[in-house]
Chains A and B, each alone.
Chain A
Amino acid sequence: MSEKKTKRREFLFTASYAVGAVGVGAIVWPLIDQMNPDASVKALASTEVDISAIQPGKAITVLWRGKPVFIKRRTSDEIAEARAVKMENLKDPQKDEDRAVNPEWLVMVGVCTHLGCVPLNDKGDFNGWFCPCHGSHYDTSGRIRKGPAPTNMEIPKYEFVNSNIIRIG
């Protein structure tokens, strides 16, 4: 067989494998993607909450996308404490001003960033939250201060529809 013919054959093999790989990928992808959140799960992406009954210093927990969301009406002491923290003392530096746009209201996903437990309110060494599972301490701004969690508790996308209603998501 001439060298030219061999090269042509090799090219054909490579091309066939490539097309085959694309075909296998196209078949496997739907089987993998079916496990991602479906349309009905995505449709429940936002929720509205009435916050008018929350007293200062109190918090409520609402369910959003199957996860608890803490809505806390902070006292002026708690706000002052959160804003006085120096950035170099934080594991995941973030200003309180960036976490609570309206300083009185702290809205955050109540899920510990370590392994997903729900932290307890008004507990821990920093007067914020404490996760009972593996001992992470959060401050009054929901920032990680001590323990295995890598980051601060997440702030979801939310807005004030009016002074009494928050829409999360």
Chain B
Amino acid sequence: MRDHEYVPKSKFGKWFNDRLPLLSLASHLTDYPTPKNLNYWWTFGGILTFCLIIQIVTGLTLAMHYIAHADLAFESVEHIMRDVNYGWLIRYVHANGASMFFLAVYIHIFRSLFYGSYKSPREIIWIIGIIIYLLMMASAFMGYVLPWGQMSFWGATVITNIFSAIPFVGEGIVTWLWGGYSVGDPTLTRFFTLHYLIPFLILGLVVLHIWALHIPGNNNPIGIDVKKPSKDTVPFHPYIVIKDGFALLMFTIVFAFFVFYAPNILGHADNYIEANPMVTPAHIVPEWYLLPFYAILRSVPDKLMGVVAMLSAIFVLAALPWLDTSKIRSAIFRPLYKQFYWILVIDVLILGYVGAMPAEGLYLLIARVATAYYFIHFLIILPVLGSKEKTIPLPLSITEPVLEDSSNSPTVKKNKI
């Protein structure tokens, strides 16, 4: 980093920067050298930052009208929808914003899996990312409870009961989480508090995530180390800013489609029925972004082991930098990994599908096979593949295969990036 070399032009700027080097930070961010071959899959970091800001801003404004009380919450949400100026818009942006946030984060995670962005020296970026993902799930779950509809109530009941699987102390923990003997008013008020808190924790972790990213710099589609700055890099501004901006524009079109044309399609109709502790809806399903993990939970016939499997499915991701033993980052140069990667993508989509279906008959069988494969991919295939796979030779630099005679580097020509 060359931050210390930056000297502001104006006298006041220099005076200020000597006391608080904000201008040096801004200079670092604009000049930050990025590999020139970044494709559109790299624009989702910026899109995710946008999603977080949208959720915080719409959330703050909703909190001005929402009442966190078991008797009033449901009505206050209807009040927001019908009476508050633009309340319908703000709530629909917030509710669909959660789905858009997860859509973007899944693309971001799977991009990382394809191009090996989690590998040395980027393990800490990856682990911070997994923590952010966990916090996102916690926040989304608690946010879904706040409207106090039937799905809110029973979703909260089922998810908090997961802790009762812990031997000996489980029941005590669940009572402690509830603040009573069932999900009720104390549960709602604490969920609101935590739902309000977590986005700011995420914001702090995003700063660390970006800080950790700026130490080694971005990975890139061919996954080789890039000297920076060099002829292989371009400054963040204006090149990446424009590219991110264009991708964000495309993304907001999808976002706006959901908000204005199908605002309830990702939700569940039962959540427009007020919470009733006496009646369980016939079919409880979590929001779509949690379905793969829900399928794993249900695929194990034992209560405790089901919970262990579900949590392991998330934590195995944190160990990924050490489970994947291959030194080659990008799947472009790993012909076998590339195929297993796509099988994993299909496997997770299948898990998501059976998570939405009743846990019986053929669906249960499929869920079990898909769950087993998920763990086999991370715990067996990846460690073994590192030593067994015959990889394609890497080019020496990003520029080399483009500028020099193509006979030197047939690999990049063949696999168009």
Binding site for B on A (CB under 8 A): 32, 35-38, 41, 61, 63, 65-68, 111, 114-118, 131-135, 148-150
Q: A35-B177, A115-B162, A116-B157 are in contact. Are A66 and B184 (CB under 8 A)?
A: yes
B161 nearest CB across to chain A (Å): 4
A106 nearest CB across to chain B (Å): 18
Complex contacts, B302 vs chain A, CB 8 Å = 148, 150
A49 nearest CB across to chain B (Å): 14
Shortest Cβ distance from B174 into A: residue:
A116
Complex contacts, A150 vs chain B, CB 8 Å = 302-303
The complex places the Cα of A128 from the Cα of B402 at a distance, in Å, of 72
Complex interface bits, B162-181 against A, C-beta within 8 A gives 1, otherwise 0? 10100000000001111111
A41 nearest CB across to chain B (Å): 5
4 extra interchain contacts, Cβ-Cβ under 8 A, other than A41-B181, A41-B184?
A: A65-B182, A114-B303, A115-B161, A150-B302
12 contacts between A and B (CB under 8 A): A32-B176, A35-B186, A37-B179, A37-B181, A38-B179, A66-B181, A68-B277, A115-B157, A116-B160, A117-B284, A132-B283, A149-B303
The complex places the Cα of A38 from the Cα of B181 at a distance, in Å, of 11
State whether the Cβ of B282 lies closer than 8 Å to any Cβ in chain A.
yes
Complex contacts, A61 vs chain B, CB 8 Å = 278
Chain B, interface size category, equals 35 or more
B280→A117 contact, CB < 8 A: yes
Q: A117-B280, A118-B278 are in contact. Are A36 and B303 (CB under 8 A)?
A: no
A38→B186 contact, CB < 8 A: yes
Q: A61-B278, A117-B280, A148-B306 are in contact. Are A67 and B179 (CB under 8 A)?
A: no
Instruction: Tell me the residues in window 270-293 of chain B with beta carbons closer than 8 Å to chain A beta carbons.
Output: 277-284
Complex contacts, A65 vs chain B, CB 8 Å = 180-182
- A66, A115, A149: the one contacting B182 at CB < 8 Å is A66
Complex contacts, B284 vs chain A, CB 8 Å = 117, 132-133
Interface of B is mostly: loop
A69 nearest CB across to chain B (Å): 10
A110 nearest CB across to chain B (Å): 8
State whether the Cβ of B298 lies closer than 8 Å to any Cβ in chain A.
yes
Complex contacts, B279 vs chain A, CB 8 Å = 118
B181→A134 contact, CB < 8 A: no
Shortest Cβ distance from B279 into A: residue:
A118
A41→B359 contact, CB < 8 A: no
B277→A117 contact, CB < 8 A: no
Instruction: Tell me the residues in window 323-350 of chain B with beta carbons closer than 8 Å to chain A beta carbons.
Output: none
B235 nearest CB across to chain A (Å): 48
A167 nearest CB across to chain B (Å): 17
Complex contacts, A32 vs chain B, CB 8 Å = 176
The complex places the Cα of A165 from the Cα of B179 at a distance, in Å, of 29
Q: A67-B277, A116-B158 are in contact. Are A134 and B179 (CB under 8 A)?
A: no
- B162, B177, B280: the one contacting A133 at CB < 8 Å is B280
State whether the Cβ of B190 lies closer than 8 Å to any Cβ in chain A.
yes
Complex contacts, B162 vs chain A, CB 8 Å = 115
Instruction: Tell me the residues in window 202-224 of chain B with beta carbons closer than 8 Å to chain A beta carbons.
Output: none
The complex places the Cα of A149 from the Cα of B191 at a distance, in Å, of 27
A41→B180 contact, CB < 8 A: yes
* Across the A-B interface, the 7 shortest Cβ-Cβ residue pairs: A66-B182, A65-B181, A116-B161, A115-B161, A117-B280, A115-B158, A118-B280
- A35, A132, A148: the one contacting B280 at CB < 8 Å is A132
State whether the Cβ of B389 lies closer than 8 Å to any Cβ in chain A.
no
B162 nearest CB across to chain A (Å): 7
A66→B190 contact, CB < 8 A: no
A36→B175 contact, CB < 8 A: yes
